[in-house]
């Protein structure tokens, strides 16, 4: 049997879903270490495992402490520990436990999110249209070093792959914290752990590619080329932060700096640009999610698309190179609309633009409720997208990337609701726009099967028939 883990009882904070929705906030590309197991979210934070679950009125939390106090030099346990049965646990509340305070600062609960949403909605009609479907999205107040390395990994990457990379960093270089079932949790490694001579080679072997060099070089700069509190010194003076991890969890304290002469958002942004692998977008991500600068607006391809599509930014001008002036002007544009917490508002629209949340707008958005729903017909059309090459705007200004899009099949779903009054409404699944020509097709097969569809919001559950129509290619013959 492994070493005993000290586990607290479940406790709770009064918090509505409009103030925090962990199912959205913890998976929208801010932090990449939270894992959901049996409807509970888990993450190693500041030498302990924090477990969360939520209902409509409260955020429930529990803390698991490792038996052995964690230091920044503690690395991954040997295989004998990793492969051993789950450690025994004892329900205790460690003296001086500050879990509630940690969560209050981690989720930046000093800000009233409902008030901010109202302000943004009053000044921005587009935000007002998106907000009802994406409530409770807060900016996390993370450790600056973790944010820095995580967003270096984000370069030309997606959330799933970034999460895999961050998990590998923790598993191979971070201190072991706890085990939940078969899942082993490690805290994020400090800069010293990633500054070794063999780190770059090892990270390349783990699939980090060119990012391996950036991580190793930045770790060496931060650990040996900057003062010990350099990163923390870039923090917004009004934003609380955790002090460095101590040998005893009882000694972990929260620190809030007083307002006075100190860093500015622009100063922090420029200082981060001196690091390897850090461009304007990565620097803004660190400023927003690691240093407490709410006005930072990271501009990547998603945000650039939002600016052009929803705010007509740039007019009809099309360019393949994203310049520094363009990057700055997008951020300034949104800061003018949303104010000092513009980065928070941007995160809501960023989340709404992600494919993984595309159905949420349909499921949670305002709809016209009809009591007498008789049938729902679903027509599925298979389309083949021809192989294309497209130029995409990079996350960092001044460079270009060519992306190959391979042949793939996409589905477009059209749902028609018919009522007794004869009213018809059409919902189309959100998806990517097909820009290539499609060929004529003929109906080849039809399948009918009974299903149950529950109406979103108020309404009845009706037995309906779903008709799936497969469309096949009809080749054009020449005479």
Torsion angle in degrees (nearest 10) through CA of 302, 427, 388, 398 = -10
Q: Cα separation of 368 and 376, whole Å?
A: 15
Phi/psi-derived region of residue 277, left when phi > 0, alpha when psi is between -120 and 50, beta in every other case: left
User: In Å, what is the CA distance from 11 to each residue of 61, 99, 110?
Assistant: 5, 10, 20
C-alpha triplet 115, 120, 125: angle, nearest 5°? 135
CB atoms within 10 A of CB 100: 14
CB atoms within 10 A of CB 427: 13
φ and ψ at residue 353, rounded to 5 degrees:
-90, -10
Beta strand 89-91 with 5-7: parallel, antiparallel or unpaired? parallel
The maximal CA–CA distance of the chain, rounded, in angstroms, is 87
- Residue 23's H or E segment, with its range, is helix 22-25
- Residues annotated as catalytic (active site), given as ranges: 281
Q: Which of 414, 442, 411 is nearest to 428 (CA)?
A: 414
Q: Which of 284, 282, 391, 272 is nearest to 335 (CA)?
A: 284
Q: Which of 267, 283, 288 is nearest to 335 (CA)?
A: 288
Q: Which of 40, 28, 54 is nearest to 355 (CA)?
A: 28
CB atoms within 10 A of CB 434: 13
User: In Å, what is the CA distance from 19 to each residue of 54, 62, 211?
Assistant: 12, 20, 35
Residue pair 130/120 in contact (Cβ under 8 Å)? The answer is no
Q: Which of 310, 285, 293 is nearest to 157 (CA)?
A: 285
């Amino acid at each position: 049997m492994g070493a005993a883990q000290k586990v607290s009882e479940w406790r709770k904070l009064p918090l509505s879903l409009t103030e925090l929705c962990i199912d959205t906030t913890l998976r929208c590309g801010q932090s990449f270490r939270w894992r959901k197991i049996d409807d509970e979210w888990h993450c190693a934070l500041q030498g302990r495992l924090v477990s969360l679950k939520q209902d409509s009125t409260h955020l429930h939390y529990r803390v698991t402490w490792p038996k052995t106090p964690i230091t920044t030099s503690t690395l991954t346990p040997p295989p004998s520990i990793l492969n051993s049965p789950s450690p025994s646990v004892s329900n205790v509340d460690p003296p001086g436990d500050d879990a509630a305070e940690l969560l209050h600062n981690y989720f930046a609960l000093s800000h009233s999110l409902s008030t901010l949403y109202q302000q943004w909605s009053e000044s921005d009609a587009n935000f007002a249209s998106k907000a009802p479907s994406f409530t409770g999205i807060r900016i996390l107040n993370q450790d600056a070093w973790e944010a820095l390395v995580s967003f270096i990994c984000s370069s030309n990457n997606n959330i799933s792959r970034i999460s895999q990379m961050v998990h590998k960093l923790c598993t191979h270089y971070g201190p072991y914290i706890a085990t939940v079932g078969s899942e082993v949790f490690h805290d994020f490694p400090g800069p010293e752990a990633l500054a070794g001579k063999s780190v770059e080679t090892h990270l390349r072997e783990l699939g980090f590619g060119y990012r391996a060099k950036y991580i190793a070089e930045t770790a060496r700069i931060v650990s040996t080329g900057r003062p010990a509190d350099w990163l923390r010194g870039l923090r917004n003076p009004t934003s609380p932060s955790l002090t460095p991890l101590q040998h005893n969890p009882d000694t972990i304290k929260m620190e809030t700096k007083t307002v006075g002469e100190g860093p500015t958002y622009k100063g922090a942004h420029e200082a981060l640009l001196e690091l390897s692998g850090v461009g304007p977008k990565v620097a803004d991500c660190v400023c927003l999610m690691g240093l407490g600068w709410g006005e930072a607006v990271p501009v990547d391809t998603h945000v650039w698309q939002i600016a052009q599509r929803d705010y007509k930014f740039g007019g009809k001008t099309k360019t393949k190179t994203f310049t520094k002036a363009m990057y700055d002007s997008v951020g300034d544009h949104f800061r003018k609309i949303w104010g000092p917490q513009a980065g928070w508002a941007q995160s809501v629209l960023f989340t709404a633009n992600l494919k993984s949340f595309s159905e949420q707008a349909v499921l949670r958005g305002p709809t016209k409720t009809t009591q007498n729903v008789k049938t729902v017909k679903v027509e599925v059309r298979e389309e083949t997208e021809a192989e294309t090459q497209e130029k995409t705007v990079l996350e960092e200004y001044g460079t270009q990337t060519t992306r190959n899009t391979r042949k793939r099949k996409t589905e477009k779903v059209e749902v028609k609701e018919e009522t007794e009054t004869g009213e018809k409404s059409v919902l189309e699944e959100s998806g990517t726009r097909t820009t290539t020509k499609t060929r004529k097709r003929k109906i080849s097969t039809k399948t009918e099967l009974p299903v149950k569809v529950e109406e979103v919001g108020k309404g009845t559950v009706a037995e309906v028939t779903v008709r799936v129509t497969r469309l096949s290619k009809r080749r054009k013959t020449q005479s």
